[in-house]
Amino acid sequence: MTDNSQSDLLLSAHLWVSYGGKVPVLRDIDLDIRRGEVLGLVGQSGSGKSTLAMAILGLLDRKRVRVEGTIGFEGSDLLRVSESDLRALRGRRLALVLQSPLSSLNPALKIRTQLTEAWRAHASGTKADCQTAIEAALASVSLPSDKDFLRKYPSQMSVGQAQRVLLAMAILHRPALLIADEATSALDVITQSEILSLFRSLNQRTGTAILYISHDLASVAGICDRIAILHEGTIAELGTAEQIVTNPQHEYTRRLMAALPSMPQSAAATAGR
């Protein structure tokens, strides 16, 4: 990604966030996401990664949390739109995939029911329209759409399958931005690699921009165009994946790199696509 024109911007966030009048969790955040890119957000636990995701989605409790600044998204400031407008955007133009799929899915509902409800929340149409959308979403994440699979409950699937179902639900309406918050941390190494490849493939095929949040710099470098390093509530460094991996500028980024056992050759080779 090299085009930095304003027309290329999908989201532009300038934020301060604090809880209960305490020291801000996020300070002077300045982060842009371009249309169709995969942006990695890396930081240790407690650095404010999930707070930033929740702020973008409008899911922070405004009575408890003070959010200042702007979040520009498709012509609107997400901090100043109504809750009803935010609900209309979430799931349709903004989507979220969390780290614990079996906790995120409703254990009492069959997969077909959950996918159908996700579709009907933002679309109107016939039963056939809904079925077509579900089949396309499941196919895009390499899952079957036969009756036996759709009758399953979350507990009857592997963690990897459940994560793919969550991803299928997230992309049902072809969102402009998908936020993946530690979306592979609950998976084994092989399944994690498969899901990472799936994120990149979806980005390339659909043009959906992805904010990929993780504490794992190595996995982020393998799929992201750019990487932002979050440290103590601020963006310590932001650059192309190649620059962050091969020539980190900030001391904290250097420490992150030094802490890695080794940078996988695949990640180094694909960084900065």
Statement: residue 270 has pLDDT above 60: no
| Distance, CA of 33 to CA of 9 (rounded, Å) | 6
Statement: residue 92 has pLDDT above 80: yes
pLDDT single digits (tens) 242-263: 999 999 999 999 998 888 766 5
Output the pLDDT for position 97.
92
Output the pLDDT for position 3.
44
Statement: residue 165 has pLDDT above 70: yes
Output the pLDDT for position 267.
47
pLDDT single digits (tens) 10-25: 999 999 999 987 889 9
Of 1-15, 61-75, 154-168, the range with the lowest mean pLDDT is 1-15
Q: Which two tokens stand for residue 256?
A: 């992150």
Which class is domain 7-266?
alpha beta
Domain residues of the chain, as ranges?
7-266
Statement: residue 264 has pLDDT above 60: no
Q: What is the mean pLDDT of residues 110-115?
A: 97
Output the pLDDT for position 261.
66
| Distance, CA of 155 to CA of 108 (rounded, Å) | 9
Output the pLDDT for position 272.
45
Between the two ends of the chain, the Cα-to-Cα distance in Å is 8
Q: Where are the beta strands (DSSP E) in 108-176?
A: none
Statement: residue 104 has pLDDT above 70: yes
Output the pLDDT for position 265.
47
pLDDT single digits (tens) 32-83: 999 999 999 999 888 899 999 999 999 998 889 999 999 999 999 999 999 9
| Distance, CA of 150 to CA of 137 (rounded, Å) | 13
What are the distances in angstroms from CA 139 to CA 46, 132, 172, 186, 256?
Answer: 36, 11, 11, 23, 37
Compare 143 and 269 and report the one with higher pLDDT: 143
Across 182-186, 216-220, 251-255, 261-265, the highest mean pLDDT is recorded for 251-255
Statement: residue 233 has pLDDT above 60: yes
Instruction: Output the average pLDDT for the chain.
Output: 89
- Of 239, 175, 172, nearest to 207 by C-alpha is 175
